[in-house]
Structure 1
Amino acid sequence: MRLRIDLAYDGTDFHGWAAQPRLRTVQGELEPAVATVLRLPEVRVVCAGRTDAGVHARGQVAHCDVPDTVEDDQVDKLTRRLNGVLPADLRIRGVRRAPDHFDARFAALWRRYAYRIADGAAALDPLQRHHVLAWPRPLDVAAMNAGAETLVGLHDFASFCKQRPGATTIRTLQELRWSRDEAGVLVGHVRADAFCHSMVRALVGCLVAIGEGRRSPEWAAEILGARRRDPSVAVLHAHGLTLEEVAYPAEEDLAARVTQTSAKRGEPARGSR
């Protein structure tokens, strides 16, 4: 049977999600913990979004397949037992039997991230230094939102991604906007059907340049239209980024969603948003 695992982690001391030899990763910690608790030789865990080194998560979702001999009472106790063996910077928020056709990666409708920046002395909080980027100059929220608006929609985001052989860079960016929280921290709200490698941090880097006044809001669309990486677009630090939430369709729509997202994304039509 398939289990759904909801989890959160502080990415400071992790080299990202994916297991790597001799490096501490979220997957590398989670898989042996599940195997140990369920007394299985090994378990493979698949997540909704493979976060980079230093990126945090409040709303990560994963799944794993276990023998159907695992009993319901074992599943019910799995959250508590896993939190008893996992390190303090990786917490399980819930484990349950997944419905038919559930896939943490391919069934997701969207992923929502937040990027947090303290661009003024009043917003600096040493207790949040591992999760909020301290920026030395004030940022113009209105200018950043003007630039962000031109990036929303279905586009080829090759200009903002580290390309991988055979992987598409076409994504639907559903939301990109900036606001300030009660403490004055600038928060970038970013939601898309999926993200390619380093995409969110490159988008933020582009908009910070606009917020500082070094570039006009129109520059964001120019970079997007070039469809190639531009060294003038900085990929900002990982520690300001948090995966906040992953959304899934109703159970009856899971199979159709998996089929849809498993297919390679096509080229967007001219002028599509």
Structure 2
Amino acid sequence: MPLPSPDVNAGSLSAVSPLQPSPGAFVRLRLDLAYDGTDFAGWAPQPRLRTVYGDLSAALTTVLRQPRPVRLTVAGRTDAGVHAKGQVAHVDVPESALATLPGRSDRAPEAALATRLRGILKHDLVVYEVTRAPVGFDARFSALERRYRYRLADPDAVRDPLRRRDTVWWRRRLDVDSMNHAARSLEGLGDFAAFCKRREGATTIRTLVEFSWERRTDGVLEATVRADAFCHSMVRSLVGAVVRVGEGLRDPDWPAGLQRERQRGGPGGGLGGGALVVPALGLVLDEVLYPADSEVAERSRLTRVRRHVSELA
């Protein structure tokens, strides 16, 4: 199991909520959802901009007839233009409000909520399932691992116009073998400061479980990136560094050299020295993994423990 990482790029805008609401008053729900990120300004609410949080909170507030906007906590706070297939969020709602949703039907209240949400949300945001969360569950802190996918179509790939919203068309040919060499050199526990937009007080220590590339039958290059957590822009920066290797502009060991600098734009160049942050549209959050129900509270506790560079010694 990957080591815990506290400062995931997955935060709630609210303070950390209790592990579980008081019995009989509130119930914690898990929401499994997906969205096409093209027309969203990311997950987090922003003034006068459409966001996934904003649309989902407004829908929940309406369906549950709440006097104040419903607040959500998410597993992976995606940037503008990033998609999600397996996103997870949690929300604490009044038990009484949930109980009224089935009306005269015999449906479970959670199923009734999912149906009503699908009825009012726009078609680029879908809540697949609503379930009661186990005691201690936190969509952000209980997660063991997040898996992302990135798609690139170089000149050797079939450029499918029906996939234009989730696949980046790349002008230069890419060598998948050298990209895999470079990607594997970054796997493991490490400081990924060179690939993150720094946030005050936030750790950049992560366990990169898998970083691999595959050329699919249609020629499209697809990356799988798995980690216990990701910091801001980390996946797109990792992909960007390895793409430079695939283009033949950098040696396969170059991304690992960037990582050792432990700072973005460091003396050896950092991300300003020939690397890039690739476009958001090729990135999809595929899956968030959690431990067994009996272990989610302990996982949440461990994840909140701040990690330090001394762990790398």
TM-score range, shorter chain: over 0.9
Correspondence list, 1:6-45, <5 A: 6-41=32-67, 42-45=69-72
Partners in 2 of 1:269 and 1:45 — Cα distance? 32
C-alpha change, 1:50 and 1:82, in structure 2 (3 Å) is same
Q: Which residue in the other structure is 2:277 paired with?
A: 235
Partners in 2 of 1:122 and 1:109 — Cα distance? 34
Contact 2:156 2:219 (C-alpha < 8 Å) held by counterparts:
no
Kindly tell me the number of residue pairs found equivalent between the two proteins: 271
C-alpha change, 1:268 and 1:240, in structure 2 (3 Å) is farther
Q: Deviations over 1:40-96 (max 9, x none)?
A: 122101110000000000000000000122228332211111011001110111111
* 1:150 counterpart = 2:165: no
Q: Deviation above 3 Å: which 4+ runs of structure 1? A: 268-271
TM-score of the superposed pair, with normalisation by structure 2: 0.84
Task: Give the letter for the 1:243 counterpart.
Answer: L
Q: Which residue in the other structure is 1:65 paired with?
A: 92
SS in 1 for 2:198: coil
Contact 2:35 2:125 (C-alpha < 8 Å) held by counterparts:
yes
Partners in 2 of 1:197 and 1:137 — Cα distance? 27
Contact 1:144 1:211 (C-alpha < 8 Å) held by counterparts:
yes
- After TM superposition, give the deviation of residue 241 of structure 1 in Å: 0.2
Partners in 2 of 1:122 and 1:100 — Cα distance? 47
State the Cα RMSD in Å. 1.2
- After TM superposition, give the deviation of residue 158 of structure 1 in Å: 0.4
Q: Which residue in the other structure is 2:19 paired with?
A: none
Task: Give the letter for the 1:151 counterpart.
Answer: L
- After TM superposition, give the deviation of residue 270 of structure 1 in Å: 4.3
Task: Give the letter for the 1:154 counterpart.
Answer: L
Correspondence list, 1:49-198, <5 A: 49-69=76-96, 70-71=98-99, 73-120=108-155, 122-198=157-233
SS in 2 for 1:263: coil
SS in 2 for 1:195: coil
C-alpha change, 1:165 and 1:209, in structure 2 (3 Å) is same
- After TM superposition, give the deviation of residue 182 of structure 1 in Å: 2.5
Contact 1:156 1:268 (C-alpha < 8 Å) held by counterparts:
no
SS in 2 for 1:66: strand
Between stretches 143-152 and 72-81, larger displacement belongs to 72-81
Task: Give the letter for the 1:221 counterpart.
Answer: A
SS in 1 for 2:309: coil
SS in 2 for 1:46: strand
Q: Which runs of 5+ in 1 are unaligned?
A: none
Q: Which residue in the other structure is 2:300 paired with?
A: 258
Contact 2:42 2:78 (C-alpha < 8 Å) held by counterparts:
yes
Contact 2:157 2:220 (C-alpha < 8 Å) held by counterparts:
no
Q: Which runs of 5+ in 2 are unaligned?
A: 1-26, 103-107, 265-269
- After TM superposition, give the deviation of residue 268 of structure 1 in Å: 4.9
TM-score of the superposed pair, with normalisation by structure 1: 0.97
